[in-house]
Structure 1
C-alpha cells in the first residue's frame, strides 16, 4: 500500500537495472570440487589433454580463441595462469606447445555469470571522474550485489548520471568483465596483533611471528617472520595448528588492482578469501573525507563463508585499487555496518546492528576496531516489528545526519524509512519519519525474495535525495525525493524512544 508521504514526495523513475547473464568472468574450475569429492580428477584429465594429436589441439584452441577471447579481457593470460595450477601433473611442462598449454588451461576454466540470478542492493557515491558532463549533472558510481549460480554474491558496479534537474540515466555496461589481479598487501604489525588477539591467538608462537615482523626494517614480510620462529617453538604439538591459524588471519588482508584501461562497470570484486568464499554481500560505499582534506572511498560488506557472516572493510583511493581487511571489536559482529563520511568529534563513527534488530552508533580510534554500539533506533512502528537496520551510510545535511533505514514487518515485508541524527552527537535522534518512505509497489512485490525494497546507500545532489534501491532481490530501481520536504515531514521522537 502506498502511503500519502510516498505519493507526495517520492518519484519512482522509469530507469531500471536488471541482471545481465552475458556478464561473465572466466574462473578456475577444478572438476570434482563442486561435489566436494575426496580425490582430485585432475590427473586423468591432464593425461587426456596430453594424448591429443597436436593438429587437433591447434584446431581446438583456434575455436576457443574465436569464441571466448572477445568475452574476456586477457583471455590467453587467464588460460596460461590456470594451466600453471595443474602443471605439477605434467612430466615436462616446459616442453608443451603454446597451443597445448592454452588448451590445458581452458580445460580447467569455466565461465561464471556473475548476474546469472539477480542484481540488487545498490549503494551510490560520486564517481571519481566528473569530466564531460553538462552543468548541474553528477556522475554516480553505483555498487551492485551480483548474484549468480549457487547464490554466490560478488560486488559489481554500474554508472549513472543524475541531473541536471530531476532526471537520471544509466550509462551502458559494455565490454568484458575483469576480476582484477591480487597484489601484495603488507600488514601493520600492530593491526595484525589486534586481529590475532581477537581470535584468541596470544601465545608464544604467535608472539614470535609478530616479533619477526617488528624486527624487519621495512616490516610487512610475513614469510620472513614465519621463518624466524625458533625451531624449539615449532616442535611444540600445538605449533602447526597455531601457525596455520596465523597464516589464515594474515591471508585475510588482500589488495586487488584492476587494469587502468578498464571501465568501472567492467570491474568485479570476486570472493577470493576463505572468510568470503560463499559470497561478498551488500557493500555500503561512502566517499570519506579525512581532516586534512584527503578523500577516499570506503565500504563495509558482509563476507559469508557458508556458515558465518562477518563484516569487512574495503578501501580505495579511486575505485580501481581496492584493499579488503577485517574489522574487529564488539560492534563488528553482524551484518549492516555503515560508515560515516567523516570523523565525528574527532573519531571514526559507524552505524551497526550488533544484536541483529536494533540500529546503534559505534565509534573507533582507527576505523578498524569498533567499540560497543549505543542504540539509537529500535523496532517500534508497525512496519518494523521484526527488526530495523540502516540502508547505507549517514548523509550529512545542515540539520543533521540523514539515515535511511529499513524495517521488516508482517509477512517479512521490507520498507525504507528515515531518521535524523544530531551532527555533533549522532547518538541523539533529532527526527523520525512517521511512515515508510518506500514500500514495495504492486509491481515490485514479486521476485527472487518477494516484498522487499532495500538500499545500501543514496546521495544528495541539487536538493534531491537520489536513492537506487533493490526490488525483491532481483532488480534495481531509482527513486528521488526533495530533501527539504523530506526533512520537514520528520517528527521529534517520543520521550520514551
Structure 2
C-alpha cells in the first residue's frame, strides 16, 4: 500500500501528497535587539573592565558627551523600541561604580548605558524549526482565511538561539502569504513570578534538594492551616528557617540552590502596541544562557473551554539541556518555568492540545532515539514515559521523534514525526494514534511525507527538513518546516489523502 513516489535528481523520494508553496522565510540580519554588554565578563576574561570604562566616560567634557549622545540617538533610536529606557537600565547596572559625589547629566547617563550595550542580530546566522498555531487576532481576513502565528528558532552570533515570531495567512483555498515583519524588535520586560509550594517542591526534588533546610523553607510557603492562603514570599520563608538548621555547614549552599532554582520562574511582558513579529523571547535565566531552542507551540483548550497558548522548548546553558514550559493567554505575556519529572529530561517534548482521560499528555524522547508518551496531573511534573514509536523504517534507522503536538482528527491523533536515516538525513513522517488511547499507534505512513530535495539538501546543516508544529485548516495540513537549519519553507497536504495513505500498525 505504499503510495506513489517519484525519484528526484538528488536520489530522494518526493511524496506526491505534498505541495510546496513559494513562501520562504530567510534570516534577516537587520533584526536586532540591544543587549547588555559587559566587556571582560562577556568572554573568558576573569575580571570586569567596567571600572575603567566608567572612569573614561565620566572624564569626557559635557559638550563632547552631548554630541556623542545626539549621534547615538540619531543612529540607533529608530532601530529599537524604548532605546532610551534600555540605555537607562544598562547604565543602572554599573552605577555602583560611579563615585558618590558625581551627578550625571541625562546625556552622560545615556552615554554610560551605551558603553554597556551592544546590538545583537537575532537571525544573523539562521532562522529555522517553526511551529504554527491559530493567531489570536483574526481581524481583517476574507472568508476562508486563517492567520497563523509562527514561532521561529532564531540563531545569531555564537549560535545563541532565541524564540522569534512571524505571522502568515493561509486560505482561502491553497493560498498562503507571509505578513510583513517590520518595525524594531523588543525583548519585553522580564519579572520574577511567585512560586506555589507544591510546584517548587517538585522542581527542587528534581535537582536533588530534599533535606531538612529545604523542607523548612517549603513548610513556610505552605498554608499554615486548611483553607488559609499560602505565603509565596521566599524571603520570609528563608527567615522562618530554624536557627539550628541555619548553623549547619551545608545551609548556605542549600539556600543559594533554592534561590537559584526559584529564580528560574519568569514572566515576560511585551508592549501592548508591539506586533507579534516584533517580539523576541530572549534568554532570561541561567539554564537558557546559551539558547532557547525549538519551541513547540500548541493552542490548549481546558475542560472549561478556556484557551491559552503553551509551548515546550529546550533550554541550553552551554553544558546541559533542560525542557521548559511557556504559557501565554495572548502571545503578548509569557510565563516561562522549568518542567520536572522523569520524562522532562531530554529534548523534544510536545503537548497534546487538550486533556485526554482527564490528564495532560505529551510526546517525548526520553531515550534519545524513540518517541514515548508521558502523562501529568498538573502539566508540570511528568511521569516516566512509556514507549510509543521507535526507529523501524529505513528513513528513521538512527532515531525518531515528534515534529510538534498531535493534531486531533476524527480518525485519531495525527502526529508528524522526524526520522533520521543514513547520511544523517532528516525527513518528516506521520503516524496516527488512537483517539481515546494515544499510547497505541494505529497506523503509520510507510514512506517519508517530506524529504529534502534539490536546494533543500543545502544549508548550515545539510539534508535536514524539520518542523516543530503544524495545523489543519479546511481539510489541509499546513506544515511550516525548517530547511538545513538555515531557513523556512511551507507545505500543505490534504488530510484525507494522507490518512488514506497510511497503513495499519503491526
Give the TM bin, normalised by the shorter chain. Answer: over 0.9
Match of 1:360 among 351, 357, 372: 372
Shift of 1:35: 2.4
Aligned counterpart, 2:485: 473
Larger deviation: 429-438 or 213-222?
213-222
Alignment correspondent of 2:166: 158
1:33 partner SS: coil
Select which of 271, 274, 281 maps to 1:259: 271
Would you say 1:272 and 2:280 are equivalent positions? Answer: no
Q: Which residue of 2 aligns with 1:171?
A: 179
Q: Which whole-Å deviations, capped at 9, do the CAs of 1:463-494 have from their partners, x for residues lacking one? A: 00000000000000000000000000000012
Residue-by-residue CA offset, 1:338-396 (whole Å, 9 max, x unaligned): 00000011111000100000101111111111111121111011110100000000000
1:5 CA displacement: 8.1
Q: Return the alpha-carbon distance in structure 2 between the equivalents of residues 102 and 234 of structure 1.
A: 43
* Matches of 1:136 and 1:35, distance apart in 2: 52
Question: Helix, strand or coil for the counterpart of 2:76?
Answer: helix
**Equivalent residue, structure 2, for 1:11:** 19
C-alpha contact (below 8 Å) 2:15/2:450 kept by paired residues: no
User: Hey, what does 1:243 align to over in structure 2?
Assistant: 255
Structure 2 counterpart of 1:51, from 59, 62, 80: 59
Residue 183 of structure 1: how far off its partner (Å)? 2.3
Distance 1:63 1:325, change over 3 A: same
In the superposition, the TM-score normalised over structure 2's length comes to 0.96
Shift of the alpha carbon at 1:229? 2.2
**Partner residue of 1:85 out of 78, 86, 93:** 93
1:250-329 alignment, distance < 5 Å: 250-329=262-341
Superimposed CA distance per residue, residues 444-469 of structure 1 (whole angstroms, 9 cap, x where no aligned partner): 11111000000001000010000000
- Worse-superposed segment, 65-74 or 224-233: 224-233
Deviations 1:131-176 (A, max 9, x none): 1100000000000000000000000000000000001000000001
Offset at residue 237 of structure 1 (A): 0.8
Answer yes or no: is the 8 Å Cα contact 1:87–1:93 preserved in 2. Answer: no
For 1:4 and 1:38, how far apart are their aligned partners in 2?
51
Q: TM-score under structure 1 normalisation?
A: 0.97
Q: How does 1:380-399 map to 2 (within 5 A)?
A: 380-399=392-411
* Alpha-carbon distance change, 172 to 238 in structure 1, aligned in 2, over 3 angstroms: same
Q: Structure 1 runs of 4+ off > 6 angstroms?
A: none
Question: Counterpart of 2:319 in 1: which secondary structure?
Answer: coil
Matched with 2:47 is: 39
C-alpha displacement at 1:289, in angstroms?
A: 0.3
Give the superposition deviation at 1:218: 4.9
Q: How does 1:136-155 map to 2 (within 5 A)?
A: 136-155=144-163
Q: Deviations over 1:303-356 (max 9, x none)?
A: 001111111110000000101111111111100000000001111100010000
1:262-311 Cα distance to aligned partner (Å, 9 max, x none): 00000000011111100000000000000100100000000001111111
- Distance in 1, matches of 2:13 and 2:413, equals 20
In structure 2, C-alpha distance between the alignment counterparts of 1:40 and 1:56, rounded to whole Å: 26
What is the aligned counterpart of 1:460 among 436, 449, 472? Answer: 472
Q: Provide the secondary structure at the position in 1 that maps to 2:184.
A: coil
* Aligned counterparts of 2:236 and 2:130: Cα–Cα separation in 1: 41
Question: How far apart, in 2, do the equivalents of 1:447 and 1:352 lie?
Answer: 27
What's the offset of the Cα at 1:230?
2.8
Deviation at 1:42, TM superposition (A): 0.4
Instruction: Please tell me whether the aligned partners of residues 5 and 437 of structure 1 are also in contact (alpha carbons under 8 angstroms).
Output: no
Closer, same or farther in 2 for the Cα pair 1:71/1:390, shift >3 Å?
A: same
SS of the equivalent of 1:115 reads coil
Q: SS of 2:217's equivalent?
A: helix
* TM superposition shift of 1:214: 2.2
Pairs aligned (count):
494
Structure 1 residue runs without a partner (length 5+): none
Deviation for aligned residue 1:207: 1.5
Q: Which residue of 2 aligns with 1:198?
A: 206
Question: Could you say which residue in structure 1 is the equivalent of 2:348?
Answer: 336
Per-residue Cα deviation, 1:235-277 (whole angstroms, up to 9, x for no partner):
2111111011101110111111001110000000001111110
| CA distance in 1 between partners of 2:359 and 2:491 (Å) | 32
Q: Is the Cα–Cα contact under 8 Å of residues 12 and 453 in structure 2 kept in the other structure?
A: no
CA distance in 2, matches of 1:306, 1:420: 36
Question: Cα–Cα, structure 1 residues 354 and 239, in superposed 2: closer, same or farther, change >3 Å?
Answer: same
Q: Distance in 1 between matches of 2:500 and 2:77?
A: 55
Q: Is the 8 A contact 2:191 2:268 kept in 1?
A: yes
Q: 2:4 — aligned with what?
A: none
Residue 109 of structure 2 is matched in structure 1 by 101
Compared CA separation, residues 84 and 431, structure 1 to 2 (3 A):
same
Quick one: distance in 2 between partners of 1:449 and 1:406?
15
Counterparts of 1:99 and 1:256 in 2: how far apart (Å)?
A: 29
- Structure-1 residue corresponding to 2:3: none
User: Counterpart of 1:425?
Assistant: 437
Q: Secondary structure at the match of 2:431?
A: strand
Q: Give the drift of 1:7.
A: 4.3
CA displacement at 1:215 relative to structure 2: 5.3
Runs (5+) with no aligned partner, structure 2: 1-6
Q: Which residue of 2 aligns with 1:30?
A: 38
Instruction: Give the direction of change, closer, same or farther, for the CA distance of 1:254–1:418 in structure 2 (3 Å limit).
Output: same
Structure 1 residues 130 and 5, CA, compared in 2 at 3 Å: closer, same or farther?
A: farther
8 Å Cα contact 2:192/2:263 also seen in 1: no
CA-CA distance at 1:442 after TM superposition? 1.3
How far apart, CA to CA, are the structure 2 residues paired with 1:305 and 1:184?
19
CA contact (8 A) 1:350 1:363 kept: yes
CA distance in 2, matches of 1:186, 1:362: 27
